[in-house]
Amino acid sequence: MWWSREGLLDKNPQKLYFFPRNVRCLIIFSLCLGLTCLSELLIPPTPCHAKTNVMFLKTHKTASSTVLNIMFRFAERYNLTVALPADQLLHLGYPRTFVAQFVEGFKTIGQNYNIMCNHLRFNPLEVKRVMAANTFYFSILRNPIPLLESSYIYYKNNAPAFSNSKNVNEFLASPTKYYHPESYRENIYARNIMWFDFGYDNNAEDDTQYTQAVLEEIEQNFHLILIADYFDESMILLKHTLCWDLDDVIYFKLNSRSQDTVQTLTPESEEQIKTWCSLDWKLYLHFNQSFWRRIEETIGLEVLKKEVGHLRARQKELMETCLSGQEAVRKDDIRNKALLPFQSGAANILGYNLKQDLDNRTLRTCLKMVMPELQYTSYLYTVQHPHKKRKGVEFPLLWTNLQERSVQLPESS
């Protein structure tokens, strides 16, 4: 009788003791386990909320112009305030160390900006005067080997160390012959540029104790460091970390150059970069490791692969919708010169041609995705500070050219 179903379900708890002790323990354990599982089904997981106070340290030659475009579009979509350069400049005081006064309207707006992403040389105390206390800080790094080659081509006419050498391999064969530390303002792009962007001395001695202290300080100042060499994976990690949607991190590659301007590095040059830019090399190795560790701890490689596939499929869909030819084109082939990216050095910076006869809503979306950095910065300045008299700019104004089509660009996309 004590094995009966009635005995188990009887409301009198004394009946439970008719069972042997091991059976009682099993029953109690099963009930507790069932209640736990039921509670997990009934109580939904706490939803995350999209972070809207975000500071992106825009490093040089690291696909950061594409990230800036993502940040600008996010700011417009959610009507956020961007910390734009004062006096309609294009950088936040770079290469000078950042101070809050470099931000347009800081004296009146104060610590009420949501997004900061234009080039600056990082200064945490001054950035915190501009950004809210709960701001999320992130940046992006790139393998210093392709980075230096890219810098050489892009800043060929700006950095004396580059302009005085015939090609990148000649420069790397004897960098001290061309590079002079006292001219660091002109030559910052020629050595440890990422280290410099983070606010540190790019000519500092590569001392283990010093470099370790800097790496630890960067870890304290930034919540996340992405890797440009794994850009799609970086966007998925960013999406998860900021609790953003897939369309918030979708992109078209911006400020890239044509392959015929790429110079082939010799094996000796590649090894020389690791020594010549040893601070950047250590920076990259450290955060490349933490990047993959972060992915394994939060997303997992299987989910990452699946979501990268979703991102690329969505990107392909938008390219088919927006782009004539569905790919980037050389500067001479860009039909609308208002969409011409800034050209620098020996690089041929690619741009895009939009399809004709897009409806106004689609045109706004597509236009924002291909809008070059300088034009987008100038456009946002006009939107956020309409009372400021416009300075003359060297490129046509997109929103002026498109007025005939009644495209009201100041609206959020």
Which of these ranges, 46-55, 62-71, 392-401, has the smallest mean pLDDT? 392-401
Q: What is the pLDDT of residues 326-352, one digit of tens each?
A: 889 998 899 999 999 999 877 888 999
Mean pLDDT of the region 228-236: 99
Q: Does residue 259 sit in the same domain as residue 353?
A: no
Beta-bridge partner residues of 82: 115
Strands 136-141, 115-116: pairing kind: unpaired
Number of structural domains, the chain? 3
> Highest mean pLDDT: which of 155-169, 170-184, 221-235?
221-235
Same domain, 194 and 302: yes
Mean pLDDT of 163-167: 95
The verdict on 311 and 242 lying in the same domain is: yes
Query: Is residue 240 located within the same domain as residue 92?
Result: yes
Residue 260 has pLDDT above 70, yes or no: yes
H/E segment holding residue 177: helix 175-178
- 321 or 345: which leads in pLDDT: 321
Do 224 and 267 reside in the same domain of the chain?
Answer: yes
In this prediction, residue 344 carries a pLDDT of: 86
**Proportion of the chain above pLDDT 90, given as a percent:** 75
Average pLDDT for 252-281: 95
pLDDT value of residue 326 = 82
The pLDDT of residue 2 is 39
What pLDDT digit, counting tens, does each position of 77-128 carry? Answer: 999 999 999 999 999 999 999 999 999 999 999 999 999 999 999 999 999 9
257: pLDDT confidence band, cut at 50, 70 and 90? confident
Question: Do 125 and 131 touch, CB atoms closer than 8 A?
Answer: no
Mean pLDDT score, 149-165: 95
| Containing structural domain, residue 136 | 54-318
Position 411 in a domain: no
**Among 26-30, 207-211, 293-297, 401-405, the least confident range:** 401-405
Residues 294 and 229 in one domain: yes
- At CA 362, angle to CA 315 and CA 380, rounded to 5? 90
Spatial CB neighbours of 252, under 8 Å, sequence gap ≥ 6: 66, 69, 315, 318, 319, 322, 323, 328, 352, 369, 370
Co-location of 161 and 107 in the same domain: yes
Statement to judge: residues 35 and 71 lie in one domain = no
Return d(Cα 67, Cα 73) in angstroms, integer: 10
Q: Are residues 175 and 85 in the same domain?
A: yes
Q: 387 and 281, same structural domain?
A: no
